[in-house]
Amino acid sequence: MRAVEIVRPGGPEQLTVREVPDPSPGPGEVLVDVTAAGVNRADLLQRQGHYPPPPGAPAWPGLEASGTVAALGDGVEGWTVGDRVAALVAGGAYAERLVVPSGQLLRVPDALDLVDAAGLPEAVCTAWSNLTGPGRLAPGERVLVHGGSGGIGSVAIQLVAAYGAWAATTAGGPERTARCLELGADLAVDHRSDDFVAAVRDATDGHGADVVLDVIGAGYLARNVEVLADEGRLVMIGMQQGRRAELDLGAVMTRRLTVTGTTLRSRTREAKAAIVADVATRAWPWLDDGRLRPVIGARLPLDEAAHAHELVESGNVFGKVLLLP
Ligand SMILES: NC(=O)c1ccc[n+]([C@@H]2O[C@H](COP(=O)([O-])OP(=O)(O)OC[C@H]3O[C@@H](n4cnc5c(N)ncnc54)[C@H](OP(=O)(O)O)[C@@H]3O)[C@@H](O)[C@H]2O)c1
């Protein structure tokens, strides 16, 4: 089969398509014919040599895909050859075929475009597990999602709205904030011109955010702590502006804040399966009534993986970039 190889750590030009042996499913695993793969920022780090695939994962990048079930390993139940699926994986989705632990598959509804479904698993699993897990989100609460224009944020806004919570978000520029409002955000702040702390406080009558889902990291730590309501939870899932910053422990103590974070890729198969099962039950059904839909910025052939990485790096995309083998 064809897969995208990283020739050596470096720029997008290091991505090239080559023939590799077809994978075969082991016990509890499913072979998927890939229809499309989602591009994630983690793939860019992997290409640069900063984020090696976990043991057992294929060498080529790709954390999510959509496709059809092509074969079942021993002991797999609940799936049939030909089923339309979306998959959360630890690597290897930039390829024509992919082996997936059966617990990491989600069923793609008939009405949903199978290509676009590739943009969902990583974003839905990351956003949902963090909002409802460490974020302890309850309906009616106020949430600030940073980067509502991104692959993760564009899905997180929809999940917050569908769950019956109030969603504020940040994005760069008026066109991007307008699109966030269309996705269901109640407030969209242009981070290039406006202060999100003041904007969220104003919009919530001084209450602040019960949960902040953050993809920025160190550069926003102080302001994220400032914007939290009493007993608020800051959940960090990205470090686009660095990993080290000063934390005001006085604010954490007096306002009883929680400051935490997670990474999805490093979780065990069992943990991923538990997240996928919870998503399948509580969030995935929103695809049926349109409260949740993939937000796709670009669809490119697998041969253009380098261009796909350039696009994500440029920041000039709204939503997800997909690769089609
Ligand atoms: N922890 C995990 O398990 C996990 C899983 C998946 C992804 N992630 C991480 O989450 C982050 C986002 O991933 P993604 O797929 O959504 O990436 P993406 O599609 O490239 O989006 C990046 C987002 O960051 C926003 N952004 C950049 N600078 C900002 C600023 N100063 N203030 C507010 N927003 C800003 C961008 O908004 P504008 O372009 O509109 O400015 C854009 O929406 C990445 O760092 C990724 O590695 C973590």
> Distance between CA atoms of 216 and 15, rounded to whole angstroms?
27
Q: Which atom of ligand 1 is nearest to the CA of 45?
A: 47
> Whose Cα sits closest to atom 30 in ligand 1?
191
> Distance between CA atoms of 322 and 205, rounded to whole angstroms?
40
Residue to probe by mutation, ligand 1, list 240, 262, 279, 322, most atoms within 8 Å of CB: 240
**Whole-number average pLDDT of the chain:** 97
Question: How many other CB atoms are found less than 10 A from the CB of residue 33?
Answer: 18
Q: What is the whole-number distance in angstroms between the Cα of residue 132 and the centre of ligand 1?
A: 19
Contact present, 202 and 189 (Cβ < 8 Å): no
Q: Is 14 in the pocket of ligand 1 (CB under 6 A)?
A: no
Q: Is 40 in the pocket of ligand 1 (CB under 6 A)?
A: yes
pTM greater than 0.95: yes
Domain spans, the chain: 2-123+265-324, 135-261
Torsion of CA 135, 139, 141, 146, to 10 degrees: 50
Q: pLDDT tens for residues 153-171?
A: 999 999 999 999 999 999 9
Q: Is 152 in the pocket of ligand 1 (CB under 6 A)?
A: yes
Please list the residues that pair with 143 across neighbouring strands.
167, 211
Compute the average pLDDT of residues 309-314: 97
Return the SS3 of 62: coil
pLDDT confidence of residue 188: 98
Fold type of domain 2-123+265-324: Quinone Oxidoreductase; Chain A, domain 1 (3.90.180)
Q: pLDDT tens for residues 206-255?
A: 999 999 999 999 999 999 999 999 999 999 999 999 999 999 999 999 99
Nearest CA-CA partner of 129 in 321, 261, 37: 261
The alpha carbon dihedral of 54, 59, 63, 67 has a sign of: negative
pLDDT confidence of residue 236: 98
| Confidence band for 75, pLDDT divided at 50, 70 and 90 | very high
Burial class (CB in 10 A: 0-12, 13-18, 19+), 99: buried
Nearest CA-CA partner of 229 in 254, 194, 260: 254
Please tell me the class of the 135-261 domain. alpha beta
pLDDT confidence of residue 104: 98
Q: Which residues of 45-74 are buried (b: 16+ CB within 10 A; e: fewer)?
A: ebbeeebebeeebbebbbbbbbbebbebbe
> Distance between CA atoms of 237 and 245, rounded to whole angstroms?
15
| Confidence band for 10, pLDDT divided at 50, 70 and 90 | very high
Q: pLDDT tens for residues 13-68?
A: 999 999 999 999 999 999 999 999 999 999 999 999 999 998 889 999 999 999 99
pLDDT confidence of residue 258: 98
Angle at 114 between CA 111 and CA 119, to 5 degrees: 110
Return the SS3 of 207: coil
pLDDT confidence of residue 200: 98
| Confidence band for 179, pLDDT divided at 50, 70 and 90 | very high
> Distance between CA atoms of 16 and 167, rounded to whole angstroms?
40
Contact present, 217 and 205 (Cβ < 8 Å): no
pLDDT above 90 covers a percentage of the chain that reads: 98
Bridge-based pairing state of the strands 64-72 and 84-88: antiparallel
Q: pLDDT tens for residues 265-289?
A: 989 999 999 999 999 999 999 999 9
Q: Which atom of ligand 1 is nearest to the CA of 239?
A: 45
Please list the residues that pair with 189 across neighbouring strands.
170
pLDDT confidence of residue 95: 98
